[in-house]
Amino acid sequence: MENFEFYTPTKVYFGKDMHRQVGEIVKSYGYLKVMIHYGSGSVKRTGLLDEVTSSLDKSGVEYVLFGGVQPNPTLALARKGMEICEKESVEMILAVGGGSVIDSAKCIADGVGNPGKDVWKFFTKEDAPAKALPVGTILTLAASGSEMSASCVITNEEGGFKRGFNSPTHRPLFSILNPELTYTVNKFQTGCGTVDIMMHTLERYFTVSRNVDLTDRLAEGLLKSVISAGRIADQKPEDYEARATLMWAGSLSHNDLTGAGRNVFMAVHQMEHELSGMYPRIAHGAGLSALFCSWARFVCPYAAERFAQYAVRVWNCEMNFEDPMKTALAGIDATEEYFRSLGMPTSLRELGITDEKFGEMAEKCTFFGERTLPDFIDLDAPEIETIYRMAYED
Amino acid sequence: MENFEFYTPTKVYFGKDMHRQVGEIVKSYGYLKVMIHYGSGSVKRTGLLDEVTSSLDKSGVEYVLFGGVQPNPTLALARKGMEICEKESVEMILAVGGGSVIDSAKCIADGVGNPGKDVWKFFTKEDAPAKALPVGTILTLAASGSEMSASCVITNEEGGFKRGFNSPTHRPLFSILNPELTYTVNKFQTGCGTVDIMMHTLERYFTVSRNVDLTDRLAEGLLKSVISAGRIADQKPEDYEARATLMWAGSLSHNDLTGAGRNVFMAVHQMEHELSGMYPRIAHGAGLSALFCSWARFVCPYAAERFAQYAVRVWNCEMNFEDPMKTALAGIDATEEYFRSLGMPTSLRELGITDEKFGEMAEKCTFFGERTLPDFIDLDAPEIETIYRMAYED
């Protein structure tokens, strides 16, 4: 087990009707003016926005509205949000939506908290935020785990760069998790969310750190539970328990619990960022689903026992003691079959792209040769390109 | 799944040598004068206290020393600590020890934070603390989970009352968890710790709430990992990985993770508090070990399927589909055998007490008829007495 720090100060309010208390909750922290940040308008159609503003009104909390976040949130929109916060003297940002909205809110929060600094430099690691406006969330999509994490991913449209950075400054102060708010999430987005949640744990699980049995077992338990709930939510979108499992697992999958004691790098996420950075219409979960199994098959020979453990404990595969590699591959096959059963793509070809940009994406992924993607082996640009091609041919 | 709030703001610094950074850590929060609170002096003998004061000295943090905490920490000692904090204008309490030292520190913190109020009334629920001095910990015993929990248990020697209360005010600001500091914990205390950790999860697991699959699987994974690590630590006290597993599991077992979405009451803990309240020399873990299986056998007929799930998933028992009760009891037997293998008592008789006080303890446990112990059935005083007697005869 590696040394680690664990810090999850986000207060979670989980369950039915919880979002109706948002006014009281915001006020309990002493904030009286918020910016409600949201997406393309579904929160208006479902009536959620009205419920939120009505709760804020009741508690005497003022608000300004700022919507328009798209999947793969952009730097340009975040810069607009910073202007509004400054002009309106906003005290906290209330993100009502999924990971894109929350990440946009985090970026705005870092920008406003550090006047005079260029917020993009936080993403390129040239600078770091000293503080941020507080962020609270009302989650409407179980997927990114952004509601409890220190991470934030933004796309800079100039150059098609999608970059993430972690900072304690923007970790949400509180998150309101009402599974009922995800009943309206469609089949495809539910599948994307299920894959994203699994991947946040899988990418922590598949690392070289040894003797992390406790973290392993928590990860395996979470995965089993998500696999089952994902199937149910796919078939019965209004199953409260399945939606609740996905929502809580989404938070736990990315708050570091399933990576404690492991050196975590998340190679597939890095590869996917280049993919949806280049093709912003590709949903993050779909990109992960199309890439994971090819990455896994490429690195599996270097970690057959670990992939076998996954196969046996998560997928109930029989262990082949004579040839553990067979068990390892059976676990990857089971994962692929599961993703497909949710209607998720398991090849890049299905995403409707060509194979022309794979070289460029691989170069970008290594920051043009400045890094490799480590784990069981260090992946350099040619190897990353090979994996993109494997994922295309699959 | 029941609605819940989840809030674990304690920052954990986990791993080798972490305690040597305590000076910097305290200073990073802006505190410059601490009271180092500790137990019977083993921290002096092992040299830990010197390492702590040397780190504080280096960072320019002043300190006063206040030791003397015994197992089942007393109100009288805590009151003495409050006086010191007030007289010396202490800004934070640094608890160096196990759960008893941390609980004593929490009690002191609540007392100092609320001048003019009687701190015992927080335990009797007649009053509640508005704030508290901040508490940091350096853990030397994996057991109570107090290092990350909102709970605090104190014994008022006048009347032999042992009472616990939960409050966000005294949840530690940070906890430094270095598994190496537990190498010197002896066989008996290691066993007590392993039982206590398991019990914090088991008492959350055995409740009537339904559809909590994710929490169940996390709990089951944690238990499997603890069972294995407990065996190793019992045989090889300096096995880092086993000590690390116990230490991290101890924190996770009592920070509400393994109870999220369940209505938790912890009946066996309530019964044990009466036991060690009456006989303060009884170690908490030993008391739990002596009581659990009798409680489990008493309530098992009302929840056979749930106990069977525990038996199958945690102990790898074969499911008897024709008679689930047999599987359920096999799981309890396996638990009992495991506790015994660690040298833990599995009957009250082994604790060297008589059966004279069981009626009185049962009465106290129901607050003289003001409450029952709920879960699968509501236990009243006669039933509680029956369980004490079952545990005596075993």
Domains and CATH numbers, chain A: 11-181 (3.40.50.1970), 186-393 (1.20.1090.10)
Identify the closest residue of chain B to A15 by CA–CA distance: B3
Structure confidence at residue A162 (pLDDT): 82
Q: Which amino acid is at A6?
A: F
Q: What is the pLDDT of residues B43-86, one digit of tens each?
A: 999 999 999 999 999 999 999 999 999 988 999 999 999 999 99
Closest of A188, A114, A110 to residue A151, by C-alpha: A110
Residues of chain A found within 8 Å of residue B211, distances taken between Cβ atoms: 241, 244
Phi, psi of B318 (to 5 degrees): -75, 135
CB-side neighbour CA atoms (13 Å) of A63: 27
Residues of chain A found within 8 Å of residue B239, distances taken between Cβ atoms: none
Q: Which amino acid is at B196?
A: D
Q: What is the pLDDT of residues B117-160, one digit of tens each?
A: 999 999 999 999 999 999 999 999 999 999 999 999 999 988 87
Cβ atoms B274, B284 nearer than 8 A: no
Residues of chain B found within 8 Å of residue A211, distances taken between Cβ atoms: 241, 244
- β strands within chain A, DSSP E: 4-14, 33-37, 62-66, 92-97, 135-139, 151-156, 161-166, 174-177
In this complex, is the C-beta atom of A83 within 8 Å of any C-beta atom belonging to chain B? Answer: no
The token duo for A376 is 């069981």
In this complex, is the C-beta atom of A89 within 8 Å of any C-beta atom belonging to chain B? Answer: no
* Buried b / exposed e along A6-32 (16+ C-beta atoms within 10 A): bbbebbbbbbeebbeebbebbeeeebe
Determine the Cα angle at B343 with ends B340 and B349, to 5°. 75
The token duo for B100 is 């008893």
- β strands within chain B, DSSP E: 4-14, 33-37, 62-66, 92-97, 135-139, 151-156, 161-166, 174-177
- Measured between alpha carbons, how far is B352 from B11 in angstroms, rounded to an integer? 41
pLDDT along chain A (394 residues), means of 10: 96 97 98 97 94 98 97 94 98 97 98 96 96 98 96 89 91 98 97 98 96 97 98 98 98 95 94 90 94 98 97 98 98 98 97 96 94 93 98 88
Closest of B260, B58, B290 to residue A251, by C-alpha: B260
Identify the closest residue of chain A to B239 by CA–CA distance: A211
User: What confidence tier does B313 reach under pLDDT thresholds 50, 70, 90?
Assistant: very high
- Measured between alpha carbons, how far is A339 from A227 in angstroms, rounded to an integer? 10
- Min CA distance, B175 vs chain A (Å)? 10
- Measured between alpha carbons, how far is A219 from A41 in angstroms, rounded to an integer? 35
**Contacting residues for A136 by C-beta, under 8 A, at least 6 apart:** A22, A25, A26, A29, A34, A92, A93, A94, A95, A172, A173, A174, A175, A176
Q: What is the pLDDT of residues B160-217, one digit of tens each?
A: 788 889 999 999 999 999 999 999 999 999 999 999 999 999 999 999 999 999 999 9
Residue B367 has pLDDT above 80, yes or no: yes
**Contacting residues for A84 by C-beta, under 8 A, at least 6 apart:** A35, A64, A66, A90
CB-side neighbour CA atoms (13 Å) of B119: 32
**What does R_g of chain B's alpha carbons equal in angstroms?**
20
Residues of chain B found within 8 Å of residue A233, distances taken between Cβ atoms: none
Q: What is the pLDDT of residues A230-240, one digit of tens each?
A: 999 999 999 99
Determine the Cα angle at A133 with ends A131 and A136, to 5°. 125
In this complex, is the C-beta atom of B23 within 8 Å of any C-beta atom belonging to chain A? Answer: no
Taking an 8 Å cut-off on Cβ atoms, the answer to whether A8 and B5 are in contact is no
**What does R_g of chain A's alpha carbons equal in angstroms?**
20
Longest dimension (CA), chain B: 68
Taking an 8 Å cut-off on Cβ atoms, the answer to whether B13 and A5 are in contact is yes
In 10 A of CB A49, how many CB atoms?
19
The token duo for B193 is 């710790």
Cβ atoms A61, A110 nearer than 8 A: no
Closest of B185, B194, B190 to residue B222, by C-alpha: B194
Distance (Å) of CA B189 to CA B20, B71, B74, B197, B282: 25, 11, 20, 12, 12
In this complex, is the C-beta atom of A125 within 8 Å of any C-beta atom belonging to chain B? Answer: no
- Measured between alpha carbons, how far is B219 from B240 in angstroms, rounded to an integer? 23
Phi, psi of B359 (to 5 degrees): -60, -45
Longest dimension (CA), chain A: 68
Q: What interface predicted TM-score (ipTM) does this complex get?
A: 0.95
User: What confidence tier does B375 reach under pLDDT thresholds 50, 70, 90?
Assistant: confident
Distance (Å) of CA B74 to CA B69, B102, B162: 8, 12, 9
